[in-house]
Amino acid sequence: MASKYRPVIEEIATRHGLNFDVVEAVIAIESSGNTRAYREEPNFWIKYLAEDPFYKDKQPSVVSASYGLMQIMYPVARERGFTGEPESLYIPEIGIEYGCRHLRYLMNWATNNYDTAIAAYNGGKGGNSKPPYRNAAYLAKFKRALLIVRGSYA
């Protein structure tokens, strides 16, 4: 399952000290390589954004959603330095950049433990303990995707 975005992945992942195959496996399970992938996250709006003054008068379906190849959430991308409009995260270079920034942040938080960082990419840092079956399933899916990606470049 070699990705047409591999050159972009390699360039950005290198800058962030991430394994190319890991980034490509995240893309495979998050968006199946679809640059226009979108997933609304209504619970994120309710729990985290509704009371934040920055998001006042903004559409929940726009600001509380995951975008693009790495399904990076707009508020998470903003935490990693993104200043553009949410739809810009559909652009592969931008979505991969901020997805990699977030994954690097999680790798630092997890002391370079990929399993913990990947589970947190899925469920947030607090998601590693609840619900455990969700992150365990995601991690298993990630590991299968990683084997496929590595087989594509063998």
Pairing of strands 38-40, 65-67: antiparallel
Written as one string, the DSSP assignment of 46-99 is IIIITT-GGGTTS-HHHHSEEETTTTEEHHHHHHTT--S-GGGGGSHHHHHHHH
CA distance 115 to 121: 10
Three-class secondary structure of residue 146 per DSSP: helix
* 62 part of a folded domain: yes
What pTM, to 2 d.p., does this model score? 0.89
* 33 part of a folded domain: yes
The domain in which residue 73 lies consists of 6-152
Category of 81 on φ-ψ map: left (φ > 0), alpha (ψ -120 to 50) or beta? left
CB 1 within 8 A of CB 148: yes
> How many domains is the chain partitioned into structurally?
1
The tens digit of pLDDT for each residue in 108-153 reads 999 999 888 998 998 876 655 555 566 788 899 999 999 999 987 7
* 1 part of a folded domain: no
The tens digit of pLDDT for each residue in 28-83 reads 999 999 999 999 888 878 777 888 888 788 888 888 889 999 999 999 999 999 99
48: domain CATH number?
Answer: 1.10.530.10
* 133 part of a folded domain: yes
